Amino acid sequence: MPFKPISQKFTDFVIVRDDSRCINCEVCVRQCSYEAHYWDDTRQRVSFDSSKCTGCHRCAAQCPTSCLTIRRNPSEFRENAFWTPAFIKHIYKQSDTGGILLSGSGSPADKPVYWDNLQLDASQVTNPSIDPLREPMELRTYLGAKPDIAAFEETAGTFRLKGEMPPQIRLEYPLMFAAMSFGSINFNLHKAMAQAATELGIVYNTGEGGLHPSLYGYGANTIVQVASGRFGVHKDYLNAGAAVEIKVGQGAKPGIGGHLPGEKIDEEVSRTRMVPLGSDAISPAPHHDIYSIEDLLQLIYAIKEATRYRVPVSVKIAAVHNAPAIASGIVRAGADIVVIDGFRGGTGAAPTMIRDNVGIPIELALAAVDNRLRDEGIRNHASLVVSGGMRCSADVVKAIALGADAVYIGTAALVAVGCTLCGRCYTGKCPWGIATNEARLKKRQNPDVAARRLANLIRAWGHEIQEMLGGMGLNSIESLRGNRDKLRGIGLNQVELDILGVKHAGR
């Protein structure tokens, strides 16, 4: 038998230290939460263990002399197109531990990214473009059910809507911060999202971990979530936000529940989630009061009663093959917003095999759901929101052209505050102070600084969206929604083009 488990011999990353520049200051020792760097008493210098490196790059970023470089391990297995190194390493690890493989972040699986095969169609002469610097460009949108017919009355030259509109969420940008629960990320990040959302005139989602009491003041810019574990759910919580979201499924782990390890449940998380300190918080796969659309209808209207019909109710599902039929049932059950989460959605913890092999791309699910609701004549009865893999403003514009009213961003928001997608969120040792509740580590995130970075990101994307709208000859985001004639496919087969509802480039 080898002296060490074979999995430790074939590490993903290697640490390269330039000894001529290293001053043994031990900054890397203090910065690495995975203990890949350590002080060697025998040699009286800093040393390292590459088998513990996750590729987060925290040490290299903080090194005062720039003596550290993190590289992919150059040691390679024999070439085999079927037995790739990832599968071999997975087997080594599972034969060591006897446990399931866990992963954080989104799926890195090499599968088609349809955003990259869609091009926006620009205006030229007969339909001239619009200059967003000199002409008004409307990014504001409203989420919620819309009436079939809008009746107006005129009084002294002013038009007013007759009757009452269903409750709406007003967004100054077609963007929202996605559901990331208190516990999976820490309070500093929740506060940062709340501050940024308030400043921008958008909303953030609490995720399934409840709402910290100090954040109730941001309620007008908060969506509170009700998941299968019902963590932190009570009357005041339901009435604290601008909307309530029922989480049925999640793109990173369709068909299974959630699991927040006890190591991440400190006193504040315990109190907010209403679970014992240090105990695992496990969400069951199904809601044990929802086994049919009729059951979902009961919960939707129970929440509407509890909130006195003041706020819209949303239902979130994972992108799966029968999402259009499910979405139709959700709308007919009274939901005001339908959220679809694609398989590239991020997560704090998911079984690796589930994350990488279950669910479908959000682009296909979005187009199919939008088509189904339009065909049934109920598209205006609910808004459509998508999440799971929005990397840039162009992805957002393409999503809206495919039929979305707005999008959630989660991973992009975390990258904005320092995340390097090392995928070890479930350990609670996030070196960037994001997916951790350790006092020493979470101090690395200043909520005010993080809020400023989040606001900068949304504003930057907003400017780019206005530029793209102007280039298409449109002056409002509402004019783009479901306008698939503004999209053209490249390198897609006819089946894919038919599902997406777009023409191939050149047609």
Q: Rounded to 5 degrees, what angle do the CA atoms 117, 118, 120 make?
A: 150
Q: Under a CB-based contact definition with an 8 Å cutoff, are residues 173 and 462 in contact?
A: yes
The answer on whether 422 is annotated among ligand-binding residues is: no
Q: Under a CB-based contact definition with an 8 Å cutoff, are residues 311 and 241 in contact?
A: yes
Q: Under a CB-based contact definition with an 8 Å cutoff, are residues 474 and 174 in contact?
A: no
Closest-CA residue to 449 (of 487, 417, 473): 417
Please give the single-letter amino acid code of residue 470. Answer: G
Q: What is the DSSP string of 237-306?
A: HHTTSSEEEEE---TTSTTS-EEE-GGG--HHHHHHHT--TT--EEE-SS-TT-SSHHHHHHHHHHHHHH
Closest-CA residue to 313 (of 338, 336, 341, 339): 336
Kindly state the tokens that stand for 233.
Answer: 């759910």
Give the residues across from 40 on adjacent strands: 45
Closest-CA residue to 457 (of 182, 46, 177, 170): 177
Give the residues across from 68 on adjacent strands: 17
The answer on whether 392 is annotated among ligand-binding residues is: no
The answer on whether 63 is annotated among ligand-binding residues is: yes
The answer on whether 28 is annotated among ligand-binding residues is: yes
The answer on whether 425 is annotated among ligand-binding residues is: no
CA distance 330 to 338: 7
Q: Under a CB-based contact definition with an 8 Å cutoff, are residues 314 and 243 in contact?
A: yes
Query: Which residues does 506 contact at the CB level (< 8 Å), separation at least 6?
Result: 488
| Known binding positions for [4Fe-4S] cluster | 22, 25, 28, 32, 53, 56, 59, 63
| Known binding positions | 22, 25, 28, 32, 53, 56, 59, 63
